[in-house]
């Protein structure tokens, strides 16, 4: 999956499942935890979605990284894991 498609897939999932209006309520760098769109239960769903959709495995360090709380952070992390997977193949 290319980067723009991955970004749109993540944005759509977050918008649909956590009721985030990225045109009005949040930007791509908004911390979705601080903005109260995402809580620990939602985070579990988000991680499962990212791992299943993009066939990646997120480490404990990934999950503790504050950047994963934003749309851009999620996208960067997913693309990094996809790149690592491709390099290992």
**This prediction's pTM:** 0.91
The Cα 59–Cα 53 span in angstroms is 16
Q: Give the DSSP letter string of 3-63.
A: HHHHHHHHHHHHHHHHT--TTTT--TT--TTTTTS--HHHHHHHHHHHHHHHT----HHHH
List the pLDDT tens digit at each of the 89 positions of the chain.
Answer: 788 899 999 999 999 999 999 999 999 999 999 999 999 999 999 999 999 999 999 999 999 999 999 999 999 999 999 999 888 87
Question: Which structural domains are found in the chain, ordered by start?
Answer: 3-88 (1.10.1200.10)
């Amino acid at each position: 999956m290319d980067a723009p498609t991955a970004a749109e897939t993540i944005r759509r999932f977050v918008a649909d499942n956590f009721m985030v209006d990225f045109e009005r309520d949040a930007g791509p760098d908004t911390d979705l935890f601080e903005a109260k769109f995402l809580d620990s239960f939602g985070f579990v769903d988000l991680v499962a979605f990212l791992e299943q959709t993009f066939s990646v495995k997120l480490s404990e360090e990934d999950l503790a990284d504050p950047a994963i709380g934003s749309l851009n952070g999620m996208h960067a992390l997913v693309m990094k894991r996809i790149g690592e997977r491709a390099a290992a193949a």
